[in-house]
Amino acid sequence: MTYDPKEDKGVPVVEASYDSKKEWKLDPKGFFTIKPFPEESVIRVRYYKVTPTGHEKQAIIVGKDAEAIVQTIVRNEWVSSLQHAAYLGSEIQKAIVAMKLNLEFVQDSPLEFKD
């Protein structure tokens, strides 16, 4: 497939960017840890609510597909920002790819593909 710029004439082109050090904000609803379990072919996502003394585990979401897991999180109103929901979708999908390709998954780090 070849890109034809004439198809997009007159439409602004916006260069994608994100600086996590400057733009990241803790979601007041809490945070999540993501871990693949290849032996069961599932991803477990733990939801923690921030408390005055630290954090408290609220729920464990178990699933096999990123969309279902993220939609469950959104439906339960465990995120308050679109940025957090997008981040979760990306990280959960990365965990699924790592599990299927037998790669190590480290949340917030890129996948390292073996040669």
When pLDDT is averaged across residues 32-58 and rounded to a whole number, the result is 96
E strands, the chain, where?
31-37, 42-51, 54-63
When pLDDT is averaged across residues 86-112 and rounded to a whole number, the result is 96
User: Does the pLDDT at position 111 exceed 90?
Assistant: yes
User: Does the pLDDT at position 115 exceed 80?
Assistant: no
User: Does the pLDDT at position 55 exceed 80?
Assistant: yes
Residue 88 lies in a domain: yes
Closest CA to 61 of 35, 97, 29, 99: 35
Residue 11 lies in a domain: no
Residue 65 lies in a domain: yes
In the chain, how many domains are there?
A: 1
Residue 67 lies in a domain: yes
Query: Minimum mean pLDDT among 12-16, 21-25, 65-69: which range?
Result: 21-25
Residue 90 lies in a domain: yes
* pLDDT of the residue at 69: 98
Whole-model pTM? Answer: 0.88
Residue 113 lies in a domain: no
Contact (CB, 8 A) for 103 and 112? yes
Structural domain boundaries enclosing 67: 43-106
Residue 1 lies in a domain: no
Sheet holding 31-37, edge to edge: 31-37, 42-51, 54-63
pLDDT tier at 114 (50, 70, 90 boundaries)?
Answer: confident
Residue 12 lies in a domain: no
